[in-house]
Structure 1
Amino acid sequence: MKDTAHDLNATQKTEVVEGLHQALADLSVTTKKAQFFHWNVTGMSFGSLHALFEEIYNDHFAAQDEVAERIRALGAFTEGSYAEALDRTTVSEAKTVVSAEQMVEDMAVSQETISAALKELAEAATSNGDPLTEDLAIGRAQVHEKFAWILRAHLG
């Protein structure tokens, strides 16, 4: 597959990079939320949820780097502050300790939100002739859909 980063015009790059910034913001906020839940989960499902939240934040931390590097490959700079991420994201921030069930529900919604944004990014990448970003977005969307499914399975 040919790297099209140099083949995209400024308008095409801007649209794709905006979607990548959205993904980076969503991943950043959800990484922190997963850590918060990992640290604070209690109850009969402690062991499995503690491990699952850790798996999520480790995955999302690595994914942030992959998304940020794609932004750089397209010639743009990444946004770096948590305030920028919070301004951009559509994922809710975790601010208080809630029940394990509420944590699972909240994280499932976050995963579905990220997946939907990544699908939009994949469409933007496709329409702008950027198959590498399209591939990245589709792959990440699949990961988030799987996490959402696993989380929903905990709810019964």
Structure 2
Amino acid sequence: MADLALDLSPNAQTAIADALNQSVAETAVTTMMAQNFHWNVEGMAFGPLHELFQTIYEDHFTAQDDLAERIKAIDMHAEGTLAGMINRSKVVEAEGAFDASEMLQHLLKAQMTLAKTLRGAAAIAEEHGDLLTQDLAIERGREHEKFAWMLRAHLKSA
């Protein structure tokens, strides 16, 4: 087990950084999706959805930084370009105008994708004995599953 981030082998650093850069990319795309929906939501559920979308994008903005800083802690390069993140992300941008229900569905899919990606990152970190990255990935995955639950709950009334 690696005691310090820099005790990781070069192969471990690369594998973990790749998984974390994937997580950063998907978080960044989802951050912008939530902010876009925050700006554009309309209808009877405007208030609670406007607030929920803001909660999501603020959480995700902080998460991007936490994930990127972990990449730097293991002495690797954190991808920082929008084009790189969009190209890497499994979360696809939601382009166009959507009603509230469609916004919820897009964000729900993004949250589930993020949870799955972070579950994978946690497994890679565990495989290489990087408990700190594993812990971060598990905590972030838990947050995305919580947001998915909140979004599903709104869809039940939509």
Amino acid at match of 1:77: H
Amino acid at match of 1:45: A
Deviation at 1:4, TM superposition (A): 2.6
Deviation at 1:3, TM superposition (A): 4.9
Aligned to 1:38: 38
Amino acid at match of 2:105: E
SS in 1 for 2:94: coil
Aligned to 1:127: 127
Matched pairs, number: 155
SS in 1 for 2:78: coil
Aligned to 2:64: 64
Alpha carbons 2:17, 2:77 under 8 Å: kept = no
TM-score, structure 1 as length reference:
0.97
SS in 2 for 1:6: helix
Alpha carbons 1:36, 1:94 under 8 Å: kept = no
Percent identity between matched residues is: 47
RMSD: 0.9
Aligned to 1:10: 10
Alpha carbons 2:125, 2:134 under 8 Å: kept = yes
Alpha carbons 2:111, 2:147 under 8 Å: kept = yes
Amino acid at match of 1:153: A
Deviation at 1:144, TM superposition (A): 0.2
Alpha carbons 1:4, 1:131 under 8 Å: kept = no
Alpha carbons 1:119, 1:141 under 8 Å: kept = yes
Query: How do 1:128-147 residues align onto structure 2 when only pairs under 5 Å count?
Result: 128-147=128-147
Deviation at 1:102, TM superposition (A): 0.3
Deviation at 1:97, TM superposition (A): 1.3
TM-score, structure 2 as length reference:
0.96
Q: Which runs of 5+ in 2 are unaligned?
A: none
Amino acid at match of 2:28: S
Amino acid at match of 1:23: S
Deviation at 1:133, TM superposition (A): 0.3
Amino acid at match of 1:27: T
Query: Take 1:92 and 1:149, find their aligned partners in 2: how far apart are those partners?
Result: 20
User: Cα deviation per residue 1:67-96 (whole Å; 9 max; x = unaligned)?
Assistant: 010000010121111100011000010211
